[in-house]
Amino acid sequence: MTSRLRLLSVPLALTVVLVPVASATAASDGSAGHVPPVLQVTGPPADPDTATVLRPGANGGVTPAPVAHLRLARLDADGSALLVGGSPPGTPQSAEQLRPGDVIAGPATGATPHGALVKVTAVHPGTDGSTAVDTVPATLVDALGDASADLTVPLTAADLKVSPSSAGGKVNTVAGQAGSPGVSFDVDVPMPPGVEPTPGHGSALHAQLDLHPELLFSYQRAHWYGVAPSKAEIGLAGDYSHSVEVHAQGSAAYDTGHQPLHIPAAEVNVDKTVWLGPVPIVLNLKVDYFYDVSADGKITVDAEEHTQGRLQVGARYDANGGWSALSGPAPTSSGSSSRISGTATAKAGIGSHTALGLYGSVGVAADTQPYLKATVGAQGAGSAPNAQANWALYGGLDITGSFFTKLKIFGTTVLDKDWQLPPVSWEWKLAEGTA
């Protein structure tokens, strides 16, 4: 039996025109036809570790400061930073041109693995050619000014930082349609005491999750409408498939709760630098995995399920409506059972926890948990020894999420506390019968 089910989604298309930030400023009258310039994804500079220094100007414009070839060698938690390299002292593009109010946008590097976006408050030239600066966190408004960008950012295999395989489970990169890279997680889930594999099977619960992720980013701001952006979006999209095989028998009730999979391989990290003209935008993604297994009595299950679709999670900002959750397409699911017996309900789910952010500041987190549920109970009243039992097999999906006030890096008004995104729960029947 195949069913349809709704997921959170982030509908985004890559709509860009080649316009460098230096030319992406509003007209002198502040209107520019009431359309902010559209920014284009470009390639990195010759030295991809170079930081960009930007200088906000009048009428919503931002231009590169007359400083070139600087690197962020250090950025401490208190905002103190050290810049090295650059043009020789006394030249027009040396670090001597830095001044308070300048914005430093740094790509993901060894010194700043999650990138950097800070505003200079003080400059301290060094005697060895380096320059120390005091900084405070900056926003995208400081770096981009009046501009518009609407991006779907594909990931390469090199972007996906996964741990090596380990006993019990493994994560590796896989090829998808048209060669798009993805992450495959394959695991035999640890079960609580009293739960064993059914005869002929080596694992009580086996699962595989494949995801081919893309990062989503949107920004739009025009100062003649307001100081803050009018639109913003951050999210994760990707084709996915989920397979679970349950061959378990248990004699008592149990509930593992929301347990993480303590497997060294069960984690994926991404720090993706996207260049909008000269400005490096650093998108951060962390994915780890968890399981949740429960039963309220004696039950034996031999069943399988497969779900596939397009997962899209994230948050959207609109000046008129504020921040909101995203919604979109539906996947398909199928399942089969060779045996379900007992008098209980059992549920097994393996999901992923995703954290999304910019420049190391987590803004949106989401738990996505597909699951398989089996129910069986005697027909009619009483518990006669020869009573037949009805059984049913269900598939489902639970999505929960949070929006964090730390996402103020967009430059928008945020809540004074974390906001729970509306949960999404779907369940559909895959098969049924009489034992």
Buried b (16+ CB within 10 A) or exposed e, 134-163: bbeebbbbbbbbbbbbbbbbebeeebbebe
- Give φ, ψ of 177 to 5 degrees: -65, 140
Query: Measured between alpha carbons, how far is residue 262 from residues 167, 170, 266, 372 in Å?
Result: 11, 12, 7, 22
Spatial contact of 60 and 25, defined as CB atoms under 8 Å apart: yes
The one-letter amino acid code at 118 reads V
* Beta strands, E only, 251-331: 254-255, 259-260, 267-276, 279-295, 299-318, 322-325
The closest alpha carbon to 133, from 143, 118, 122, belongs to 122
pLDDT, one tens digit per residue, over 293-306 is 999 999 999 999 99
User: In angstroms, how far is the first alpha carbon of the chain from the final one?
Assistant: 19
Q: DSSP states of 272-294 as a string? A: EEEEETTEEEEEEEEEEEEEEEE
Query: Measured between alpha carbons, how far is residue 356 from residues 43, 159, 185, 218 in Å?
Result: 23, 15, 19, 14
Query: Measured between alpha carbons, how far is residue 336 from residues 63, 233, 372, 430 in Å?
Result: 60, 39, 11, 7
Q: How many CB atoms lie within 10 A of CB 11?
A: 15
Spatial contact of 207 and 195, defined as CB atoms under 8 Å apart: no
Domains in the chain: boundaries: 3-11+152-434, 21-147
Going residue by residue through the chain (435 aa), what tens digit of pLDDT does each one get? 433 323 222 222 222 222 334 333 333 344 445 688 899 899 999 999 999 999 998 778 899 999 989 999 999 999 999 999 888 877 888 888 999 999 999 999 999 999 999 999 999 998 888 999 999 999 999 999 999 999 999 888 888 888 765 556 677 777 665 566 888 888 888 888 889 999 999 999 999 988 888 999 999 988 777 777 888 888 888 888 889 999 999 988 888 888 877 665 568 899 999 999 999 999 999 988 888 899 999 999 999 999 888 888 888 888 888 777 776 677 788 888 888 999 899 999 888 888 988 998 877 888 888 899 999 985 544 555 555 679 999 998 888 888 775 567 776 655 556 778 778 888 889 999 886
Spatial contact of 244 and 370, defined as CB atoms under 8 Å apart: yes
Structure tokens at 105: 């946008």
Query: Measured between alpha carbons, how far is residue 10 from residues 85, 327, 347 in Å?
Result: 40, 6, 29
pTM of whole model > 0.75? yes
Dist CA 7 CA 211 (whole Å): 15
Spatial contact of 273 and 280, defined as CB atoms under 8 Å apart: yes
What SS3 string covers 152-187? EEECCHHHCEECCCECCEEEEEEECHHHCEEEEEEE
